[in-house]
Structure 1
Amino acid sequence: MPSIQLLFGPMLIGTFVNMILYGILIVQTYHYYQTFKKDAPWIKYLVLYLFIVETVNTACDMAMMYQPLIEKFGQPEATKVFPTLFAAEPAVIVAVSTPIQFFFAWRIRLLTKSNILALVICCFSIVSLAGGIWTTVLIAQFKLFSRKPELHTPALVWFLSACVADVMITVVLVLSLSSRRTGFAATDDAIGKIIRMTVQTGMITALFAIGDVVFFMTLPHTALNFLWDLALSKLYANCLLSTLNARAGLQELTGYHSQQRNVVSSGAIRRQQQDSSLEAGVGAPVSIAGNRSSRDVDSEASVKHILGSTMYELDTRKSFDHRSDMEYGIQITKVVETRQDPEPEIRETTQ
């Protein structure tokens, strides 16, 4: 039988990390509802669902640690039997991770137009869900710390499938976004920021799942794997909220580049108009194509596509003003300069 430190120490630290991440989740949830009030209703319901489940999860983790450390302190049974609410932990994690993985699979489907990739991710997510529920059932049946190695098979099904889904989501998003680089600052800066955020948020959940598997398999008679396990659900929820909330910064970034480009284009057009009017001569109409280049249009279209419903803009009720699309057409500016000949001077002659 391992020491108390190796049993309840990792579980207590994992609970502390869970509570810290819950505080971050509260801030992110508040920011989301204050900033994106026009998002699709089902997205708002998903965020609300995650917040409720995570609140219940935090309360269960605190109660889980209260039972052996306070309620049954000093009793031999506390070191032999799993805490009562510990059985709910795997089910809660997959109840959070599965809809989030479905959500990212949906985004990948819209971005890549590939049903196969989205279907494969969803399949791994469903397998992870089944493994988590299977683990919960066995924990409720076994109850004893000494039988923890018997949880290896369902835990491996749960963790490995979730890890594969997380890695696939990250890799597919990074490759798809990298292929959309155009060489323009507005597009590349936005894509670069999305890629960094995808790697930072997506890979961290995969790393925690891998750490959970490694510690679970190599140290079966300890609770060191709960250093990773108890924080997993909060990492998934914070990953989704940080992705949704990042849209505001990305829109400001692309808006800044667009404004700078418009200022430069306006100055160039005015100079072109002045030069052309001087070269055309007196009284000649001058036609100037004051349009933006097709590459500029493609750059902005790419940014709009990435920030659009395919990836980051989920406001499906937004009304679009089609008149603004006319700005991308060709504008003909006619500059006409006329000069009036001076009246001839009449000279009087004297004879």
Structure 2
Amino acid sequence: MSLSPAPNVTQLFGPMLLGVLVNTLLYGIMLVQAMAYFSRYKSDRPWFRYLVAYLVLIETVDLVCDIGIIYEPLILRYGTPEALLVSPVMLRADAVLTVLISTPIQFFIAWRIYAVTRSFIFPALILILSLVSFGGGIATTTVVSAHPDYADFSQFQAEVVTWLTSSTLCDILLTASLVHSLWTRKTRGGSTDSYVSKIIRLTIQTGSITAVAAMLDVIFFLTIPHATFNFMMDFPLSKLYTNSTLSTLNARSWREDIVKVHPTNALFEQTTSATGAQSFSMHQRRSAFLSSRGTGTDAYLRNPKSVLDIAPMP
């Protein structure tokens, strides 16, 4: 009877430690963004604020679990064979905590897409993929709880692949659909197209980060089964979702004087104008012109609160 090779401590705990460190760093960034949001957007829709509070709460629980994941084998089980054979207890909660964060965010972005396109097709597909990802995350937590040994991890690839692949496809679809809907509604007007280009860049940046992280997570899990390199992507994944959402919420006009002069859409970067009321009047005329050309980009300019609730219109 041949003995299995001894686990490589560096490949086992090194990636996990790096993942926890990155997760902790992103948690600090998230807290700064959350505090900025609550202090600036006090008149936001209540469910926006509830969503942010919920994300901060679950992210805090996730951070505690991730610290426990690395603390258990390196401190509590230091020098014992069990540390190299059995996964930490709190690792079992990793997948379900991640989908408890990613799923509401994907639902939120699906609503944003509907607000832009007024079509149910892409939002419905996004919701389906998000729900599949949610189910995969719960299934992953279930099988890890039933089979906590590192040696058994390769036996439940289907659950992990379902969770991360569907999440990746969901992020790619929501990014592509929102970018396409905005791109096709450009009006060839310099100022308006500048706003649209800015929101497109923001959408690509936030959507692609989470998609790439989830993709690398599943690739590392499948191609390097005897190490934990996938946890370098897996542990920070939820923080990437939350930080992307908060950056979108915070990329809005919040000073009253600026909003009154130039009431940009929630996702457009802040702009100022030296002409004051004249600039606002031109913006109103442009909005009225665009309002006769269907929905999409004009919906952003005509009604900024249709996508993200910002300060009241003057």
TM-score computed with the length of structure 2 as normaliser: 0.86
Which of 256, 261, 271 in structure 1 is aligned with 2:272? 256
Alpha-carbon offset, residue 294 of structure 1: 6.0
Determine whether 1:73 maps to 2:78.
Answer: yes
Distance 1:27 1:258, change over 3 A: same
Which of 302, 306, 309 in structure 2 is aligned with 1:314? 309
**Whole-angstrom distance in 2 between the partners of 1:46 and 1:100:** 9
Number of aligned residues: 293
Q: Which residue of 2 aligns with 1:7?
A: 12
**Whole-angstrom distance in 2 between the partners of 1:314 and 1:4:** 50
Name the amino acid aligned to 2:246.
L
Which of 202, 212, 227 in structure 1 is aligned with 2:207? 202
Alpha-carbon offset, residue 245 of structure 1: 0.4
Q: Which residue of 1 aligns with 2:231?
A: 226
Distance 1:263 1:162, change over 3 A: closer
Residues 252 and 269 in structure 2, CA contact (< 8 A), matched pair in contact too: no
For 1:49-68, list aligned pairs within 5 A. Answer: 49-68=54-73
Which of 150, 166, 172 in structure 2 is aligned with 1:167? 172
Residues 187 and 300 in structure 1, CA contact (< 8 A), matched pair in contact too: no
For 1:170-181, list aligned pairs within 5 A. Answer: 170-181=175-186
Distance 1:34 1:141, change over 3 A: same
Distance 1:253 1:207, change over 3 A: closer
Q: Which residue of 1 aligns with 2:300?
A: 305
Name the amino acid aligned to 1:14.
G
**Whole-angstrom distance in 2 between the partners of 1:41 and 1:247:** 17
Residues 124 and 165 in structure 1, CA contact (< 8 A), matched pair in contact too: yes
Determine whether 1:34 maps to 2:39.
Answer: yes
Which of 215, 228, 250 in structure 2 is aligned with 1:245? 250
Q: Which residue of 2 aligns with 1:111?
A: 116
For 1:329-344, list aligned pairs within 5 A. Answer: none
Structure 1 spans left out of the alignment, 5+ residues? 266-290, 322-351
Give the secondary-structure state (helix, strand or coil) at the position aligned to 2:196: helix
Distance 1:77 1:183, change over 3 A: same
Alpha-carbon offset, residue 63 of structure 1: 1.3
Larger displacement relative to structure 2 (236-245 or 171-180): 171-180
Residues 179 and 200 in structure 2, CA contact (< 8 A), matched pair in contact too: yes
Alpha-carbon offset, residue 59 of structure 1: 1.0
Cα-to-partner distance string for 1:224-266 (whole Å, 9 max, x where unaligned): 111111110000001110010012285685653594793699x
Which of 24, 32, 41 in structure 2 is aligned with 1:19? 24
**Backbone CA RMSD of aligned residues:** 2.6
Larger displacement relative to structure 2 (84-93 or 301-310): 301-310
Determine whether 1:84 maps to 2:99.
Answer: no
**Whole-angstrom distance in 2 between the partners of 1:63 and 1:264:** 54
Name the amino acid aligned to 1:305.
Y
**Whole-angstrom distance in 2 between the partners of 1:257 and 1:186:** 12
Cα-to-partner distance string for 1:85-113 (whole Å, 9 max, x where unaligned): 00000000000000000000111111101
Distance 1:238 1:295, change over 3 A: closer
Look at both structures and tell me which one has the larger radius of gyration over its CA atoms: 1
Name the amino acid aligned to 2:278.
N
Which of 140, 143, 149 in structure 2 is aligned with 1:144? 149
Name the amino acid aligned to 1:185.
G
Q: Which residue of 2 aligns with 1:342?
A: none
Give the secondary-structure state (helix, strand or coil) at the position aligned to 1:180: coil
Give the secondary-structure state (helix, strand or coil) at the position aligned to 1:230: helix
TM-score computed with the length of structure 1 as normaliser: 0.77
Distance 1:29 1:303, change over 3 A: farther
**Whole-angstrom distance in 2 between the partners of 1:98 and 1:296:** 34
Give the secondary-structure state (helix, strand or coil) at the position aligned to 2:229: coil
Alpha-carbon offset, residue 2 of structure 1: 3.2
